[in-house]
A and B are shown apart, each in its own frame.
Chain A
């Protein structure tokens, strides 16, 4: 029985690895290696990579600035509606990104109920701008950071904080010198997850920010459009995105995440 079980588990593991690996192999087999460098010379490719990096890093930054306080509130505060806020936090994770994009448009678009005021009071119109791309990416990516950091805050040993404050440290000092170092692994893991989600973001971005080379066309959007006519360019862009993502995730994992 246990032998049969072991075979079953091994088969499952092999199938899981195959499922993850084979698409990557497919991509690499079709990569036009000889023309790869000339593809890089194309301004569309370079702009898309640049925009992807800018937008995903900005979205990760925004997720940290807004998400860490939210994670703190969810982990430490007791307030009415906390369960509701937590459910709201995870909503973008289950919502199809395109739906998220439409929702963003209906709220922050020129005719949206918030966007109308932004336009009238400040002359800000978000749709079709890089700001919209960053906001869309933050919308889908921030939940990953909040959930990871909240888990970190809940599982950390709070006696160190108590000790610090009994030794006279203020709240801010305690947070900065004791809490933050203790939850550093969750912060890094959460940031990496959020960033990875942001750089791969497609649906909410194309819906809310549109698609314009050099302005809002990130790599996933460029891949989607390149698929229409130029499969080689699409594959090249995909390989580039794969390489950037893998490099950064491996670096992060080696340096900051416990193994």
Chain B
């Protein structure tokens, strides 16, 4: 399950971008009636998949003429894409490091705004067949553990947690994004992994084991408009929507913590 869906989504987006580029640009506009119309491309961390899908539905219900196109993937991959080829109006990253790459390339419009918090959990197949109870258990060489690669935010966070706990894990596989940890565990092919609590909650066939607060990390997600969003009211409206009351409520429904 690892990287597949992500790649497919990327291809879809790439195709959409190519098609969009071929047909003459169709920028979002505000019609005379004040009705918002057009579309915005949102690059979002894989861990935001479910919450943002719901977000777009709520947004499009409010603005029937507007549409949101997503490109989900690892924040690091998305940041590279934005810097190399652009194509996104909004970027929601799982950590500040990847957002900073885009800021450094002077592609961000205004300031990134922190909008949600997340933390990590140990993910195990439903019923926890290997009886994993704590981080120390992950050091067992007979246990098949999947971690995210250190290049991506959730992998970096997981390494932080493990080093705080003084546990060394030899994973059987390194996933390319947050969702890539969930697949093999939910299928029962891996015994455990370290994932965002929100991804554990969204997964079928898997459950979570809590990591104590003193060992856990607080992952703060920033969101920003890119320079490409200039003159695109849909991008601005979606950005505001995420930060506003209903957006916050939706993120809370999916288990994300609020940012004061």
A53 at the interface (CB under 8 A from B): no
Please state if B189 and A111 are interface contacts (CB–CB under 8 Å): yes
- Complex Cα spacing A212 to B190, Å: 14
Residues of B within 8 A of A203 (CB): 4, 7
Q: Looking at the complex, which of B113-121, B166-174, B225-233 is the stretch in contact with chain A?
A: B166-174
Chain B residue with minimal CB distance to A125? B144
- Complex Cα spacing A210 to B174, Å: 7
B175 at the interface (CB under 8 A from A): yes
Please state if B175 and A211 are interface contacts (CB–CB under 8 Å): yes
Please state if A127 and B189 are interface contacts (CB–CB under 8 Å): yes
B76 at the interface (CB under 8 A from A): yes
A179 at the interface (CB under 8 A from B): no
Please state if A109 and B2 are interface contacts (CB–CB under 8 Å): no
Please state if B4 and A210 are interface contacts (CB–CB under 8 Å): no
Please state if B80 and A98 are interface contacts (CB–CB under 8 Å): no
Q: Looking at the complex, which of A160-168, A187-195, A227-235, A251-259 is the stretch in contact with chain B?
A: A227-235
Residues of B170-220 at the interface with A, using a CB-CB cut-off of 8 Å, are 171-176, 184, 187-190
Binary interface encoding of chain A residues 222-249 relative to chain B, with 1 for a CB under 8 A from any of its CBs, else 0: 0011011111000000000000000000
A196 at the interface (CB under 8 A from B): no
Please state if A225 and B149 are interface contacts (CB–CB under 8 Å): yes
Chain B residue with minimal CB distance to A30? B84
Please state if A224 and B171 are interface contacts (CB–CB under 8 Å): no
Residues of A176-234 at the interface with B, using a CB-CB cut-off of 8 Å, are 203, 206-207, 210-213, 216-217, 224-225, 227-231
Residues of B within 8 A of A127 (CB): 172, 184, 189
Please state if A207 and B2 are interface contacts (CB–CB under 8 Å): yes
CB contact under 8 A between A128 and B151, given known A207-B2, A210-B2, A228-B80: no
| Residue in A106, A206, A229, A230 whose Cβ sees the most chain B Cβ within 10 Å | A229
Please give the distance in Å from B86's CB to the nearest CB on chain A. 15
- Complex Cα spacing A111 to B4, Å: 20
Please state if A228 and B74 are interface contacts (CB–CB under 8 Å): yes
CB-contact partner of B189 in A110, A212, A213, under 8 A = A110
- Complex Cα spacing A101 to B175, Å: 15
B16 at the interface (CB under 8 A from A): no
Please give the distance in Å from A171's CB to the nearest CB on chain B. 44
- Complex Cα spacing A128 to B189, Å: 9
B69 at the interface (CB under 8 A from A): no
Please name 22 pairs of A and B residues whose Cβ atoms are closer than 8 Å in the assembled complex, sorted by A: A96-B8, A98-B5, A98-B7, A102-B1, A106-B187, A109-B187, A109-B189, A110-B188, A111-B187, A128-B172, A206-B2, A210-B173, A211-B173, A211-B176, A212-B172, A212-B174, A216-B173, A224-B3, A225-B149, A225-B151, A229-B80, A230-B151
Give the top 10 A-B pairs by smallest Cβ distance, nearest first: A210-B173, A98-B4, A128-B172, A228-B76, A228-B151, A111-B188, A229-B151, A228-B77, A127-B189, A109-B189
Excluding A206-B3, A206-B4, A230-B151, 12 further A-B contacts by CB distance (< 8 Å) are A102-B4, A109-B188, A110-B188, A128-B173, A128-B190, A210-B173, A211-B2, A211-B174, A216-B173, A225-B149, A228-B77, A228-B80
